[in-house]
Protein backbone atom coordinates (compact mmCIF):
# COMPACT_ATOMS: atom_id res chain seq x y z
CA UNK A 1 0.00 0.00 0.00
CA UNK A 2 1.23 3.50 -0.77
CA UNK A 3 1.88 5.32 2.48
CA UNK A 4 -0.41 8.25 3.02
CA UNK A 5 -0.31 11.12 5.49
CA UNK A 6 -3.06 9.70 7.71
CA UNK A 7 -1.05 6.51 8.29
CA UNK A 8 1.52 8.61 10.12
CA UNK A 9 -0.89 10.96 11.90
CA UNK A 10 -3.35 8.35 13.19
CA UNK A 11 -3.72 8.59 16.99
CA UNK A 12 -4.51 5.41 18.90
CA UNK A 13 -7.56 5.45 21.16
CA UNK A 14 -8.86 3.18 23.90
CA UNK A 15 -12.55 2.43 24.27
CA UNK A 16 -14.25 -0.26 26.36
CA UNK A 17 -10.96 -2.00 27.02
CA UNK A 18 -10.01 -2.13 23.32
CA UNK A 19 -7.08 -0.20 21.88
CA UNK A 20 -7.89 1.04 18.38
CA UNK A 21 -5.30 2.07 15.85
CA UNK A 22 -7.05 5.39 15.35
CA UNK A 23 -9.70 7.55 16.96
CA UNK A 24 -11.64 7.33 13.72
CA UNK A 25 -12.01 3.57 14.21
CA UNK A 26 -12.91 4.05 17.87
CA UNK A 27 -15.65 6.52 16.93
CA UNK A 28 -17.26 3.85 14.77
CA UNK A 29 -17.30 1.52 17.78
CA UNK A 30 -19.16 4.26 19.69
CA UNK A 31 -21.55 4.56 16.73
CA UNK A 32 -22.23 0.80 16.77
CA UNK A 33 -22.76 0.75 20.54
CA UNK A 34 -25.21 3.64 20.39
CA UNK A 35 -27.31 1.64 17.94
CA UNK A 36 -26.79 -1.61 19.91
CA UNK A 37 -25.00 -3.34 17.01
CA UNK A 38 -22.74 -6.21 18.19
CA UNK A 39 -19.16 -5.72 16.94
CA UNK A 40 -15.68 -7.16 17.21
CA UNK A 41 -12.44 -5.39 16.32
CA UNK A 42 -9.56 -7.02 14.44
CA UNK A 43 -10.72 -10.41 15.66
CA UNK A 44 -10.14 -12.42 12.47
CA UNK A 45 -7.26 -12.82 10.02
CA UNK A 46 -7.67 -14.26 6.53
CA UNK A 47 -5.04 -15.53 4.08
CA UNK A 48 -5.70 -15.49 0.36
CA UNK A 49 -4.46 -17.66 -2.50
CA UNK A 50 -2.06 -14.94 -3.66
CA UNK A 51 -0.18 -15.21 -0.35
CA UNK A 52 -1.48 -11.96 1.16
CA UNK A 53 -3.20 -11.70 4.50
CA UNK A 54 -5.98 -9.43 5.71
CA UNK A 55 -7.35 -8.46 9.12
CA UNK A 56 -10.60 -6.50 8.71
CA UNK A 57 -11.26 -3.67 11.13
CA UNK A 58 -14.73 -4.70 12.27
CA UNK A 59 -17.19 -7.52 11.99
CA UNK A 60 -20.66 -6.26 12.83
CA UNK A 61 -24.23 -7.49 12.92
CA UNK A 62 -27.18 -5.15 12.52
CA UNK A 63 -30.96 -5.76 12.41
CA UNK A 64 -32.67 -5.42 9.04
CA UNK A 65 -36.25 -5.63 10.30
CA UNK A 66 -38.22 -8.47 8.76
CA UNK A 67 -35.19 -9.41 6.62
CA UNK A 68 -33.21 -10.72 9.57
CA UNK A 69 -29.70 -9.69 10.57
CA UNK A 70 -26.86 -8.53 8.34
CA UNK A 71 -23.50 -10.09 9.26
CA UNK A 72 -20.74 -8.19 7.49
CA UNK A 73 -17.25 -6.69 7.61
CA UNK A 74 -16.69 -2.97 8.04
CA UNK A 75 -13.49 -1.21 7.06
CA UNK A 76 -12.76 2.33 8.22
CA UNK A 77 -10.70 4.67 6.02
CA UNK A 78 -10.13 8.43 6.34
CA UNK A 79 -10.28 8.87 2.57
CA UNK A 80 -11.54 7.01 -0.50
CA UNK A 81 -9.95 3.53 -0.55
CA UNK A 82 -7.03 2.70 -2.82
CA UNK A 83 -7.20 0.02 -5.50
CA UNK A 84 -5.22 -2.30 -3.22
CA UNK A 85 -7.65 -1.77 -0.33
CA UNK A 86 -10.62 -2.46 -2.59
CA UNK A 87 -8.96 -5.62 -3.94
CA UNK A 88 -8.43 -6.91 -0.39
CA UNK A 89 -12.08 -6.25 0.44
CA UNK A 90 -13.12 -8.14 -2.69
CA UNK A 91 -10.95 -11.12 -1.68
CA UNK A 92 -12.44 -11.03 1.82
CA UNK A 93 -15.99 -11.04 0.49
CA UNK A 94 -15.19 -13.86 -1.93
CA UNK A 95 -13.68 -16.03 0.82
CA UNK A 96 -16.34 -15.37 3.48
CA UNK A 97 -19.46 -14.81 1.37
CA UNK A 98 -20.24 -11.76 3.51
CA UNK A 99 -20.50 -8.15 2.32
CA UNK A 100 -17.64 -5.78 3.10
CA UNK A 101 -18.35 -2.08 3.53
CA UNK A 102 -15.54 0.47 3.32
CA UNK A 103 -16.55 3.70 5.03
CA UNK A 104 -14.59 6.85 4.21
CA UNK A 105 -17.03 9.50 5.47
CA UNK A 106 -15.89 11.70 8.36
CA UNK A 107 -17.86 12.27 11.55
CA UNK A 108 -18.02 16.08 11.37
CA UNK A 109 -19.92 15.74 8.10
CA UNK A 110 -21.95 12.75 9.34
CA UNK A 111 -22.98 14.62 12.49
CA UNK A 112 -24.15 17.55 10.37
CA UNK A 113 -26.36 15.35 8.18
CA UNK A 114 -24.17 14.50 5.17
CA UNK A 115 -24.55 10.77 5.65
CA UNK A 116 -23.10 9.31 2.45
CA UNK A 117 -19.62 7.87 2.13
CA UNK A 118 -19.50 4.06 2.02
CA UNK A 119 -18.18 1.81 -0.76
CA UNK A 120 -20.03 -1.52 -0.90
CA UNK A 121 -18.47 -4.86 -1.85
CA UNK A 122 -21.22 -7.45 -2.26
CA UNK A 123 -20.77 -11.17 -3.00
CA UNK A 124 -21.13 -11.91 -6.70
CA UNK A 125 -21.45 -8.27 -7.76
CA UNK A 126 -18.92 -5.93 -9.38
CA UNK A 127 -17.72 -2.97 -7.33
CA UNK A 128 -19.04 0.31 -8.76
CA UNK A 129 -16.66 3.06 -7.68
CA UNK A 130 -19.17 5.81 -8.39
CA UNK A 131 -21.92 4.18 -6.33
CA UNK A 132 -22.03 5.91 -2.95
CA UNK A 133 -23.76 4.11 -0.11
CA UNK A 134 -24.87 5.21 3.36
CA UNK A 135 -26.76 4.06 6.44
CA UNK A 136 -30.56 4.25 6.38
CA UNK A 137 -33.42 3.14 8.61
CA UNK A 138 -36.95 1.94 7.84
CA UNK A 139 -39.30 3.93 10.06
CA UNK A 140 -41.99 1.21 9.96
CA UNK A 141 -40.03 -1.79 11.32
CA UNK A 142 -36.97 0.25 12.43
CA UNK A 143 -34.58 -2.08 10.61
CA UNK A 144 -31.28 -0.70 9.26
CA UNK A 145 -29.50 -1.08 5.96
CA UNK A 146 -26.60 0.33 3.96
CA UNK A 147 -28.14 1.52 0.72
CA UNK A 148 -27.19 3.08 -2.61
CA UNK A 149 -27.67 6.85 -2.54
CA UNK A 150 -29.26 7.18 -5.98
CA UNK A 151 -31.21 3.93 -5.96
CA UNK A 152 -34.32 2.58 -4.30
CA UNK A 153 -33.83 0.77 -1.03
CA UNK A 154 -35.03 -2.80 -1.01
CA UNK A 155 -37.44 -1.90 1.75
CA UNK A 156 -39.19 -4.61 3.70
CA UNK A 157 -42.13 -2.35 4.46
CA UNK A 158 -42.68 -0.71 1.08
CA UNK A 159 -41.50 2.74 2.07
CA UNK A 160 -38.45 4.91 1.53
CA UNK A 161 -36.02 4.67 4.45
CA UNK A 162 -34.59 7.66 6.27
CA UNK A 163 -30.86 8.30 6.03
CA UNK A 164 -31.21 10.93 8.76
CA UNK A 165 -33.46 9.03 11.15
CA UNK A 166 -33.32 10.21 14.79
CA UNK A 167 -31.43 7.09 16.02
CA UNK A 168 -28.80 7.42 13.26
CA UNK A 169 -28.27 11.12 13.89
CA UNK A 170 -27.96 10.56 17.65
CA UNK A 171 -25.35 7.84 16.98
CA UNK A 172 -23.38 10.05 14.56
CA UNK A 173 -23.34 12.98 16.96
CA UNK A 174 -22.47 10.89 20.00
CA UNK A 175 -19.57 9.26 18.15
CA UNK A 176 -18.32 12.64 16.92
CA UNK A 177 -18.52 14.24 20.38
CA UNK A 178 -17.02 11.31 22.30
CA UNK A 179 -13.79 12.16 24.13
CA UNK A 180 -11.17 9.45 24.50
CA UNK A 181 -8.47 9.34 27.21
CA UNK A 182 -5.18 10.96 26.25
CA UNK A 183 -2.28 8.49 25.91
CA UNK A 184 -4.19 5.59 27.51
CA UNK A 185 -2.13 2.96 29.32
CA UNK A 186 -3.06 -0.42 30.72
CA UNK A 187 -2.97 -1.18 34.44
CA UNK A 188 0.07 -3.38 33.88
CA UNK A 189 1.93 -0.58 32.10
CA UNK A 190 1.05 1.88 34.84
CA UNK A 191 2.26 -0.50 37.58
CA UNK A 192 5.50 -1.26 35.70
CA UNK A 193 6.23 2.44 35.33
CA UNK A 194 5.45 3.08 39.01
CA UNK A 195 7.76 0.27 40.20
CA UNK A 196 10.55 1.42 37.85
CA UNK A 197 10.31 4.96 39.17
CA UNK A 198 10.23 3.73 42.79
CA UNK A 199 13.37 1.60 42.49
CA UNK A 200 15.25 4.29 40.58
CA UNK A 201 14.50 6.79 43.34
CA UNK A 202 15.38 4.19 46.00
CA UNK A 203 18.82 3.59 44.45
CA UNK A 204 19.46 7.32 44.24
CA UNK A 205 18.43 7.74 47.86
36-47 pLDDT, tens digit per residue, is 999 999 999 999
**Residue 186's pLDDT is what?**
53
Statement: residue 197 has pLDDT above 70: no
Q: What is the pLDDT of residue 156?
A: 67
Confidence of residue 96 (pLDDT cuts 50, 70, 90): very high
The least confident of 48-57, 111-120, 180-189 is 180-189
Q: Supply the pLDDT for residue 8.
A: 39
Domain boundaries, the chain: 5-204
Query: Confidence class of residue 148 from pLDDT cuts 50, 70 and 90?
Result: confident
Which residues, at least 6 apart from 132, have a Cβ–Cβ distance to it below 8 Å? 116, 117, 118, 119, 148, 149, 150
Residue 3: predicted pLDDT: 34
Arithmetic mean of pLDDT, 90-113 = 88
Q: What is the pTM of this model?
A: 0.81
Amino acid sequence: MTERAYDIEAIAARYKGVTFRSRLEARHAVFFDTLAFPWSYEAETFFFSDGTGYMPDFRIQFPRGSRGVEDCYYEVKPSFPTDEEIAKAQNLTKVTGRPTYIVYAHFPELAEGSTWGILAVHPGRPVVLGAIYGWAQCMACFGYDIRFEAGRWDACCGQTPKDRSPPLMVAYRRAYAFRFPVNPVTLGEALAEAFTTYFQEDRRG
